[in-house]
């Protein structure tokens, strides 16, 4: 403002207006910004709206238009993509912003014209289309264009996480924003892509660091519709026009505040209109659940995330460590609890599910508690496309032919391997631990992963670990370290077992010097968590406390970390490892996880790893049963999966005598001076100075 004050008397009116436009400020000598006391403070409060930067004639619209031009030139036309988008059935709360007709009547490289909400939904559809149809068969140039556009998708994913309060640092956001801008400028050039909003986007990480949040105008823009709806009914604008509109707006706002349906912190509840459930439904529910009070029903219910989910919507449920997809039938409220009837869909392959309008081919039909419904169908697919959550009927028909061949190849192997989580080798555990700590930035998840492995128990038991469980963690105590596991749940066996001295020393080291993640936000023990004092004074303190609801990294010291949070961290690490493995394969190399089905990597893999490693070391099943609190029959049937190395050794050593019996004998004159026959156990050609076979360890009796 001082610079504008200096330039005003020196420049012409036209040049001064251009200067104001370039600087982004209108100079008013008597305005607030020019006031010597208040002006600078007002400027410090400025925050750019990421919604307008990216989604309202913004970077998403410009870059998507250029990217659609690349798709068009390589054979993926706009009408084909629009037909794919039109096949999706959207949840009730998103149906008004479905991306319909966004590609009709546009040039091949024109900027995308749509609302901000339509842009977010179209992003999900186009990303799914790329993963399913473009990336598997495109050339290198088209793959480069996809990487540029997907880099921008990562930025929008991060901005949406920040908007709902998920932890995301300014440094991470800065790397994503700068990365996608550099890629876009390198591909399309400054003339085609670079607009002033590119510069504004670079300020978002700085404003996040300063204000710890990024506000947007989504709600404000939606309120415009309320004013327009009222003003369109006012025909006489000559008398108190503005006041009459504001009166109606205020009354409507007060009426909405009187309805607590969408107020934060109201928990799970039905949304008006709420009515008594049909008589037949009430009779059946009373018979099954012995309900005495009145049973109410509604077309919509709000879960803990303050999102309304309607009947006939699709929902993703996390139950017992599994991710399931189903259709919501109805919502009820009985005895102060809300429940939803969800019909689960049977997973067929990839993004395909068995579905039916009448529910005859559904694998299961049972009421599930509403807290199990964690999200609706806005998240159509993950970024890497390996775990899409639903598909339309036409999409399923398009996938069937491709999926049938792959299913036939995998069916025989799947029958032999069975279901359940996959065990890991020691090297693979080390990679998973480092990925959780450094790349997922969850130091607590890395420590919990190792603790669960060394306890040989389920995730639900390990997450509730407390300082009062442990004895003699300090290596200087001179006594063997032990763990007394209490009755945590219905499946945990009460027992006291020995803990590995090496791992106990490692835990003690972390208690004194916390395990650090990628940045200062992640460490274990958490800041303010004094495990050292608790262990010395035998005070019960949770090792892995959960978060305060709605808080940013604020810990609830009396509540253990949820099993879902632990599972999500492991699945995030699996996704990172999967991308690293794909990168290694593209470069013609190998990866330590080549023999692991990462879709089966979960929290239960740690117990399976513990049992498998102990069995590989020929530890007695009775000892393993005592350590893990699991019967020998269950261990051998469900937990022990022999490694490929063990199978190779069994075949080589077990059949070595047959190999030796059928191998040709080398005449003495043809044998080398160093050879001395064959080992009778493994068939390896031996040398004269050997007393033992270096391969199998068999003692040569003729050398005694």
> Is residue 407's pLDDT more than 80?
no
Specify the pairing of strand 296-298 against strand 495-498: unpaired
What is the structure's pLDDT at 644?
62
In this predicted structure, the answer to whether residue 696 has a pLDDT above a threshold of 80 is no
Residue 313 pLDDT more than 90?
A: no
In whole angstroms, give the CA distance from residue 440 to residue 602: 15
Tell me which of 188 and 268 has the higher pLDDT: 188
Residue 471 has pLDDT above 60, yes or no: yes
pLDDT at residue 546 greater than cutoff 50: yes
Q: What are the distances in angstroms from CA 669 to CA 264, 666, 686?
A: 92, 8, 16
Question: In this predicted structure, what is the pLDDT of residue 351?
Answer: 67
- pLDDT over 70 for what percent of the chain? 77
**Burial (Cβ within 10 Å: 0-12, 13-18, ≥19) of residue 321:** middle
pLDDT in tens, 423-460: 888 899 999 999 999 999 899 999 999 999 898 888 99
Query: Using an 8 Å Cβ cutoff, are 498 and 480 in contact?
Result: yes
Rounded to an integer, the average pLDDT of 242-269 is: 77
The DSSP annotation for 114-145 comes to: --HHHHHHHHHHHHHHIIIIITTT--HHHHHH
How many CA atoms lie within 13 Å of 533's alpha carbon, on the beta-carbon side? 3
Q: What is the pLDDT of residues 173-187, one digit of tens each?
A: 999 999 999 999 999
> In the structure, what pLDDT confidence band is assigned to residue 552 with cuts at 50, 70 and 90?
low
pLDDT number for residue 43: 54
Question: Rounded to whole angstroms, what are the CA distances from 593 to 28, 430, 456, 537, 585?
Answer: 64, 11, 22, 43, 11
Query: What CA–CA distances, in Å, run from 386 to 131, 191, 299?
Result: 9, 36, 33
Q: Is 236 exposed, middle or buried (0-12, 13-18, 19+ CB in 10 A)?
A: exposed
Residue 307: partners with Cβ closer than 8 Å, 6 or more residues away: 93, 375, 376
pLDDT in tens, 206-228: 889 888 888 888 877 777 778 88
Range 291-296 average pLDDT = 83
The confidence band for 365, taking pLDDT boundaries of 50, 70 and 90, is very low
H or E element at residue 411: helix 393-417
| DSSP-assigned states of every residue in 3-23 | HHHHHTTTS-HHHHHHHHHHH
Query: ∠449-450-456 over CA atoms, to 5°?
Result: 95
pLDDT (mean) for 334-351: 81
- The structure tokens listed for 426 are 């020691």
Residue 128: closest CA among 378, 401, 327, 406:
378
> What are the pLDDT digits (tens) for 321-332?
788 888 888 888
Residues 354-373: what's their mean pLDDT?
39
Which range among 5-19, 38-52, 93-107, 409-423 has the greatest average pLDDT?
5-19
Domain coordinates of the chain in residue numbers?
1-34, 50-216, 220-258, 269-355, 426-639
Say what the pLDDT of residue 432 is: 93
* pLDDT (average), residues 316-323: 80
pLDDT value at residue 115:
87
Q: Is the pLDDT of residue 78 over 80?
A: yes
Phi, psi (deg, nearest 5) at residue 111: -65, 140
- Considering only residues 593 and 548, tell me which one the structure prediction assigns the higher pLDDT: 593
- Rounded average pLDDT over 574-603: 90
Is the whole model's pTM more than 0.75, yes or no?
Answer: no
Q: What is the pLDDT of residue 414?
A: 39
C-alpha to C-alpha distances, 405 to 382, 411, 629, nearest whole angstrom: 24, 10, 42
Closest by alpha carbon to 638, among 630, 649, 647, 629?
630
Average pLDDT value for the chain: 78
Percent of residues, the chain, with pLDDT higher than 90: 20
24 pLDDT exceeds 90?
Answer: no
Nearest residue to 458 (alpha-carbon basis) of 439, 440, 485, 431? 485
Q: Using CA atoms, how far apart are residues 71 and 82, in angstroms rounded to an integer?
A: 13
CB 42 within 8 Å of CB 127 = no
Question: Is the confidence at residue 188, as pLDDT, over 50?
Answer: yes
pLDDT at 380: 27
> Which residue intervals of 238-392 are DSSP H helices?
241-258, 279-289
Q: Which of 213, 178, 215 is nearest to 198 (CA)?
A: 178
Q: What's the rounded mean pLDDT across residues 543-556?
A: 77
- Measured distance CA(128)–CA(123) in Å, rounded: 9
The pLDDT of residue 74 is above 70? yes
CB-based contact 68:84 (threshold 8 Å): no
Region for 101 from its dihedrals, namely left if φ exceeds 0, alpha if ψ lies in -120 to 50, beta otherwise: left
**For 426-639, CATH number?**
1.10.443.10
Cβ density class 373-402: b for 16+ within 10 Å, e for less:
bbebbeebbeeebbbbbbbeeebbebbeee
């Amino acid at each position: 403002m001082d610079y504008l004050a200096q330039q005003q008397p020196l420049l012409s009116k036209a040049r001064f207006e251009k200067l104001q436009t370039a600087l982004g400020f209108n100079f008013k000598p008597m305005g607030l910004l020019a006031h010597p006391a208040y002006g600078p403070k007002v400027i410090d409060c400025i925050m750019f709206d990421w919604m307008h930067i990216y989604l309202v004639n913004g970077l998403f619209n410009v870059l998507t238009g250029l990217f659609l031009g690349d798709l068009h030139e390589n054979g993926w036309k706009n009408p084909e993509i629009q037909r794919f988008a039109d096949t999706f059935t959207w949840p009730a709360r998103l149906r008004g912003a479905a991306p319909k007709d966004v590609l009709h009547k546009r040039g091949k490289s024109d900027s995308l014209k749509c609302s901000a909400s339509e842009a977010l939904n179209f992003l999900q559809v186009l990303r799914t289309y790329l993963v399913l149809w473009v990336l598997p068969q495109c050339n290198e140039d088209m793959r480069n264009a996809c990487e540029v556009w997907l880099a921008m998708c990562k930025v929008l994913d991060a901005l949406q996480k920040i908007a709902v309060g998920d932890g995301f640092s300014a440094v991470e956001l800065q790397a994503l924003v700068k990365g996608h801008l550099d890629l876009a400028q390198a591909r399309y050039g400054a003339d085609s892509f670079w607009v002033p909003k590119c510069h504004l986007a670079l300020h978002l990480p700085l404003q996040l660091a300063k204000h710890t949040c990024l506000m947007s105008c989504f709600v404000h823009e939606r309120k415009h519709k309320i004013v327009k709806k009222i003003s369109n009914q006012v025909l006489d604008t000559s008398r108190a026009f503005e006041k009459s509109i504001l009166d109606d707006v205020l009354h409507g706002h007060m009426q909405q505040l009187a309805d607590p349906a969408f107020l934060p912190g109201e928990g799970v509840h039905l949304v008006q209109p709420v009515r008594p459930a049909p008589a037949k439904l009430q009779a059946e529910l009373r018979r099954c659940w012995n309900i005495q009070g009145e049973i109410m029903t509604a077309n919509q219910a709000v879960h803990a995330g303050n999102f309304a989910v309607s009947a006939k919507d699709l929902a993703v449920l996390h139950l017992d460590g599994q991710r399931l997809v189903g259709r919501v039938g109805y919502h009820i409220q009985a005895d102060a609890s809300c429940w939803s009837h969800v019909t689960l869909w049977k997973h067929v392959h990839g993004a395909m599910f068995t579905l039916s309008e009448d529910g005859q081919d559904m694998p299961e039909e049972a009421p599930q508690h509403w807290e199990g419904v964690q999200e609706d169908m806005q998240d159509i697919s993950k970024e890497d496309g390996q775990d899409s959550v639903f598909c339309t009927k036409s999409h399923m028909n398009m996938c069937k032919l491709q999926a049938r061949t792959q299913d036939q190849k995998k069916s025989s192997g799947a029958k032999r391997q069975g279901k359940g989580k996959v065990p890991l080798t020691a090297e693979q555990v080390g990679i998973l631990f480092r990925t959780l700590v450094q790349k997922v930035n969850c130091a607590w998840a890395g420590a919990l992963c190792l603790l669960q492995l060394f306890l040989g128990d389920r995730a639900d038991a390990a997450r509730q670990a407390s300082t009062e469980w442990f004895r003699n963690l300090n290596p200087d105590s001179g006594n063997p370290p032990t763990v007394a596991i209490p009755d945590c749940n219905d499946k945990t066996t009460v027992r006291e077992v020995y803990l590995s001295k090496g791992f106990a020393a490692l835990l003690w080291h972390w208690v004194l010097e916390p395990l650090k993640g990628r940045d200062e936000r992640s460490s274990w023990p958490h800041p303010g968590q004094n495990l050292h004092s608790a262990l010395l004074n035998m005070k019960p303190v949770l090792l892995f406390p959960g978060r305060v609801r709605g808080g940013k990294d604020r810990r609830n010291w009396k509540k253990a970390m949820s099993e879902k949070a632990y599972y999500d961290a492991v699945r995030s690490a699996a996704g990172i490892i999967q991308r690293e493995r794909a990168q290694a394969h593209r470069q013609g190399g190998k990866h330590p996880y080549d023999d692991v089905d990462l879709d089966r990597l979960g929290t239960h893999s740690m117990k399976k790893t513990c049992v498998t490693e102990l069995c590989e070391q020929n530890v007695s099943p009775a000892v393993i049963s005592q350590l893990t609190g699991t019967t020998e029959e269950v261990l051998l049937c469900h937990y022990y999966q022999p490694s490929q190395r063990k199978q190779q050794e069994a075949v080589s050593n077990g059949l070595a005598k047959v190999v030796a019996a059928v191998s040709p004998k080398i005449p003495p004159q043809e044998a080398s001076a160093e050879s001395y026959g064959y080992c009778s156990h493994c068939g390896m050609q031996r040398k004269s100075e050997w007393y033992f076979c270096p391969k199998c360890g068999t003692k040569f009796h003729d050398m005694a």
